Amino acid sequence: MRRLILLLTLLDGPCATLLAAQSPDSVSRDSTKRGIGFGYFATLGGNWQIEAIEIGYVRHPERGPAALAIAARLGTFMEESAVVSAQRGAVFALAVSARTHMYQISELGSEERHLPIGLDLTLEATGYLAAGSPQWQGSNWLALAVLPSLRAGRGAVTLGPALFFGAQKPSLRCVLAIRGEKLLARHGRNP
């Protein structure tokens, strides 16, 4: 956990600069509907937890949800209840999600270049494949999650429940995700 937090802290400066540069004015002038999503994902609680980084493709359709995404996660299992954190195994996941439009509650910055702040909801279905899994679900399982988010521009902090389905009974875990998005630039045709 500490290593991932350190890595995210180092990446925070460049990512925050990119996200802040994408004011609503610049986003509305950009005609692209596609982006790259990136972030940190973790399950919360005692005993063995998943910590992963994720990267994916985001599409903003004309109608319906605000965004549709597919993302890959690569991570490890961490023993958070130990005195000294332990690491074991690896986990790969593929997630598909749909996000609602943001309900704006505030804005930050000047009138010309403000950063909207608001709430939204992400519905997510994820398939996991693990090696050396310490969890009783075994080496593969599915999860369904309802994830409310606090969003600032193209970045969000998400905290919500996920229901994990394995070979035995389902289990409910809390999920934390810190996510951002970078729109893909649309290049004009060369004459």
Burial call 55-82: b when 16+ CB within 10 Å, e when fewer: ebebebeeeebbbebebebebbbbbbee
Topology of domain 2-183, CATH: Porin (2.40.160)
- The per-residue pLDDT for 86 is 65
What is the pTM (predicted TM-score) of this model?
0.72
Cross-strand pairs, 95: 71, 126
Least confident stretch, 8-17, 52-61, 161-170: 8-17
179 half-sphere exposure, CB direction, 13 A CA radius:
29
Q: What is the mean pLDDT of residues 102-125?
A: 89
User: Which parts of the chain are beta strand (E)?
Assistant: 34-44, 48-59, 67-79, 86-99, 103-109, 114-131, 140-152, 155-165, 171-183
| DSSP code at position 184 | P
pLDDT exceeds cutoff 90 at 46: no
> What's the distance, CA 146 to chain centroid?
13
- pLDDT tens-digit readout, 51-88: 999 999 999 999 999 999 999 999 988 776 665 666 67
Given pLDDT bands bounded at 50, 70 and 90, which one contains residue 132?
low
Confidence category of residue 27, pLDDT binned at 50, 70, 90: very low
Cα–Cα dist 84/49, whole Å: 14
Domain coordinates of the chain in residue numbers?
A: 2-183
Burial (CB count within 10 angstroms: exposed 0-12, middle 13-18, buried 19+), residue 111: exposed
Rounded CA-CA distance 162/123 in Å is: 10
* Ramachandran angles phi, psi of 19, nearest 5°: -70, -40
Q: Which pLDDT score, from 0 to 100, does residue 17 have?
A: 44
**pLDDT value at position 191?**
47
